């Protein structure tokens, strides 16, 4: 038994139709189905045409696949754009953070009251080698490499640091004064006379600082201390219009008598001393034009001058030198270490 059935393709969705009814979307084509039956009865032949010219399942009705593929491409593009935006945002954030940290570090002043901030140590020693950034002098050193504190806490007396500063009310006035220096702590009144002399040396420029365009600053250092003796050096920075004029001064005290130990009590200031000074200067400081171009008599006069000569002790030995001012050479100070010089 066989039946004549009408098959076709739905014009709406492209699916197979049976007797004019789409099995997929339910579309009904009654007129065409009826015509097919009538034609069959009359002997007419109807030719079935495939949608889009090819059988279903071999590329017919491909629009849904193209839309799905387009959605995937769109999602990928959006992901790439979001990733680029995230990377750019991170780069801008790190850049802003770096600038902010830089501004903070430039605008922040670190204050110390222990006297170390006056030396401006850049981490390099006198040989040009990068070290720990803080010099600890030793008796084994060939010479005293830089002025630094050498305080102790195992003695009967201690050290207190004093800070004095003067700042103008006018923000555009850069003439300021600053001084930090040590005083001895111990039995009440035991070191009163010594502290008075230390204070006078430390505040040497307080009354005259306004005569310099930028004022001046003084930094005190305890270069040597034991139960019997203490040496203190003062580095003065005088701020002039054409630069900073450095000066150096020092005092040494006998703690038992309370008296200052003078340079002539530390060593013999004579012609032989000048010769030793020249030789050690070449080893320790290299070429110093002022020393090389000055006579022995001129150097000896500076070493003996109480206002220009500088003498103090360190764990390495006796440091001896002088300040100098010259129109032909840059002004400053120079010292050398004499390891075998002791009291």
- pLDDT (mean) for 250-262: 96
pLDDT in tens, 145-157: 999 999 999 999 9
CA dihedral 257, 229, 268, 322 (to 10 degrees): -120
Give me the pLDDT at residue 329, please: 75
- pLDDT (mean) for 43-71: 42
Are the beta carbons of 335 and 319 closer than 8 angstroms?
A: yes
Share above pLDDT 90 across residues of the chain, in percent, rounded to a whole number? 53
- pLDDT (mean) for 86-106: 60
Mean pLDDT score of the chain? 78
Position 31 confidence tier, pLDDT thresholds 50, 70, 90: very low
The domain over range 136-338 is classified in CATH as 3.40.190.10: no
Position 96 confidence tier, pLDDT thresholds 50, 70, 90: low
Q: Name the more confident of 187 and 250.
A: 250
pLDDT at 65 > cutoff 90: no
- pLDDT (mean) for 216-241: 97
pLDDT at 325 > cutoff 80: yes
Give me the pLDDT at residue 136, please: 94
- How far is Cα 324 from Cα 333, in angstroms, rounded to an integer? 6
pLDDT in tens, 99-110: 544 433 333 332
**pTM of this prediction?**
0.62
pLDDT at 51 > cutoff 50: no
Q: Helices in the chain by DSSP H: which ranges? A: 30-42, 63-107, 192-202, 263-266, 271-284, 289-292, 296-304
Give me the pLDDT at residue 113, please: 30
Position 36 confidence tier, pLDDT thresholds 50, 70, 90: very low
Q: Report the range out of 20-24, 222-226, 242-246 with the highest average pLDDT.
A: 222-226
Q: Name the more confident of 91 and 255.
A: 255
pLDDT at 246 > cutoff 50: yes
Give me the pLDDT at residue 7, please: 62
Q: What stretch(es) of the chain map to CATH 3.30.565.40?
A: 136-338
Give me the pLDDT at residue 40, please: 41
| Residues 6 or more apart whose Cβ sits within 8 Å of residue 322 | 299, 302, 303, 305, 308, 309, 310, 333, 334, 335
pLDDT in tens, 160-186: 999 999 999 888 888 999 999 999 998
Position 223 confidence tier, pLDDT thresholds 50, 70, 90: very high
Give me the pLDDT at residue 328, please: 78
- How far is Cα 163 from Cα 85, in angstroms, rounded to an integer? 54
Give me the pLDDT at residue 28, please: 66
Q: Name the more confident of 134 and 45.
A: 134
pLDDT at 53 > cutoff 70: no
Give me the pLDDT at residue 90, please: 78
| Residues 6 or more apart whose Cβ sits within 8 Å of residue 59 | 52
Q: Report the range out of 29-33, 166-170, 260-264 with the highest average pLDDT.
A: 260-264
Residues in the chain: 343
Query: What secondary structure letter does DSSP report for 261?
Result: P
pLDDT at 47 > cutoff 60: no
């Amino acid at each position: 038994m066989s039946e004549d059935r009408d098959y076709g393709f739905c014009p709406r969705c492209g699916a197979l139709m049976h007797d004019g009814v789409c099995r997929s979307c339910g579309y009904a084509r009654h007129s065409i189905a009826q015509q097919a039956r009538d034609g069959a009865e009359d002997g007419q032949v109807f030719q079935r045409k495939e949608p889009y010219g090819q059988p279903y399942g071999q590329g017919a009705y491909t629009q849904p696949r193209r839309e799905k593929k387009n959605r995937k491409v769109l999602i990928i593009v959006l992901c790439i754009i979001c990733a680029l935006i995230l990377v750019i945002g991170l780069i801008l954030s790190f850049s802003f953070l770096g600038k902010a940290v830089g501004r903070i570090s430039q605008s922040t002043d670190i204050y110390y009251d222990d006297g170390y901030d006056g030396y401006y140590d850049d981490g390099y020693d006198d040989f040009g080698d990068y070290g720990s950034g803080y010099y600890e002098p030793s008796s084994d050193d060939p010479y005293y490499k830089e002025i630094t504190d050498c305080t102790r806490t195992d003695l009967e007396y201690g050290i207190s640091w004093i800070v004095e500063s003067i700042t103008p009310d006018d923000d555009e006035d850069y003439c300021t004064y600053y001084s930090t220096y040590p005083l001895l702590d111990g039995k009440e009144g035991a070191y009163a006379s010594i502290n008075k002399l230390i204070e006078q040396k430390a505040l040497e420029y307080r009354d005259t600082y306004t005569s310099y365009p930028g004022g001046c600053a003084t930094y005190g250092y305890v270069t040597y201390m034991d139960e019997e003796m203490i040496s203190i050096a003062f580095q003065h920075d005088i701020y002039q219009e054409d630069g900073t004029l450095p000066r150096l001064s020092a005092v040494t005290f006998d703690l038992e008598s309370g008296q200052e130990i003078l340079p002539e009590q530390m060593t013999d200031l004579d012609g032989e001393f000048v010769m030793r000074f020249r030789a050690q200067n070449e080893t320790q400081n290299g070429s110093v034009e002022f020393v090389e171009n000055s006579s022995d008599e001129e150097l000896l006069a500076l070493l003996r001058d109480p206002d220009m000569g500088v003498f103090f002790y360190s764990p390495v030995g006796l440091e001896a030198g002088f300040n100098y001012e010259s129109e032909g050479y840059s002004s400053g100070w120079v010292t050398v270490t004499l390891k075998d010089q002791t009291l």
